[in-house]
Structure 1
Amino acid sequence: MPPIFDLFSGPSGTRYVLDSSIPWADYTPLDLSTANQELEGLNLGDPAACQGYIDSVLRRNSARVAYGGYLEQRNLYRGNAGFETGEEPRDIHLGVDFWAEAGTRVQAPLKGKVHSFKNNAGKGDYGPTIILTHESGNYTFHTLYGHLSLESLKGIYPGKEIGKGEVLGSLGTPDINVNYAPHLHFQLILDMEGKQGDYPGVCRASEVEFYRINCPDPFLILGTEGLKVQSRR
């Protein structure tokens, strides 16, 4: 793991990517993997069906936000041509998803600058997306925020400085976030590989080792309380 992430492993406080008025105690893990037998027969590609399952998990755990998905193999992308090109499908998720109500505020966990942004409006993509660049010493890395509202892209520009905790936007509705139940896709990226406003959030099983290195676990920068929540998965 790049040494830069050692900077975030100490007792330096919680870093939120959703509305900080929602405490970590109101989060619950969500398993959307192919191993979850509760999902058998459920069409996760239908936003209503997916939302119904998420709501059941939230009620069961008296929670407001469901999260998870790093390196999770999912059936969510089946039937979408963009994920099933070639002999091997793309079905390994590279970020952490935070599932919450549309309109929930999204905020930067660290200070940074806008790298790029775009409305990735193709079916199965991110919809409105913002990517930030963060620097510490000689190290640079990026954070990606996908499935935002259209309003989130107003007033931003490459190079705009963003403070820790500053609101970036809000979660989009299924018609805007390209047919998903409302959620934030949050991803760490070391090398953007020249891409602007977009970066793969799902990969093939044969590509996992590359992306595991280039896209480390996002909980590395979410502070000690977030790591404690993640450990209960």
Structure 2
Amino acid sequence: MSNIDTQQGLDYVFKVVLIGDSAVGKSQLLSRFSRNEFSLVAKATIGVEFQTRTVMIDHKIVKAQVWDTAGQERYRAVTGAYYRGAVGAMLVYDITKQQSFEHASRWLEEIRSHADKNIVIMLIGNKCDLGTLRAVPTENAKQFAQDENLFFMETSAMESTNVEIAFLMVLSEIYRIVSKKSLMANEELEASNSTRLLKGTDVTVPLDQETETPVKSTCCLY
């Protein structure tokens, strides 16, 4: 799986949202994934913005449309509508800020109340390059992810650690779910068609009105 530049038609478009407290590095993660860029001068996201990247998964062309939602409380009501249609979510916290991790459960509740029940969610512990300042033990985050049935990974947008892997893991899982649904739908359609064929067609055989026996047909061969 890799970034591709193609003029071919897309097979899938997946909407993924980045959520979490402000200043945990959501925008930097998106910038690293979509353009392989990182800026030491970060600015707060206002409202919602998105970027895209096209990748190849299982020989299919997939366009990831990643939405970066502002983490500030005053934008919470605005960003709520943007969960609609999302099939993936990256729940980001800062490993150096315990509070950002504690808020993860609240963000998770918001995702599950607004998004589709089958949405793929990954818990991201960002800024793992700042290990000496760590406030959130990896094992605590792993346990939380396991309890909530989430994928989990620690990343560093600055050093590009695990960013690519995290996004592609989520996209691959979304693709697996979508492909499975498509396969099941096709199997149900084929089964339905087979049932109709097995039922056959009723044929009415004309009866002799006097004897009520089937009328014999005659044909001539030339």
Which structure would you say has the larger RCO, counting Cα contacts within 8 Å and 6 or more residues apart?
Answer: 1
Report if TM-score (shorter chain) is over 0.5: no
In the superposition, the TM-score normalised over structure 2's length comes to 0.29
Which has more radius of gyration? 2
- Please identify which structure carries the higher strand content: 1
- Please identify which structure carries the higher helix content: 2
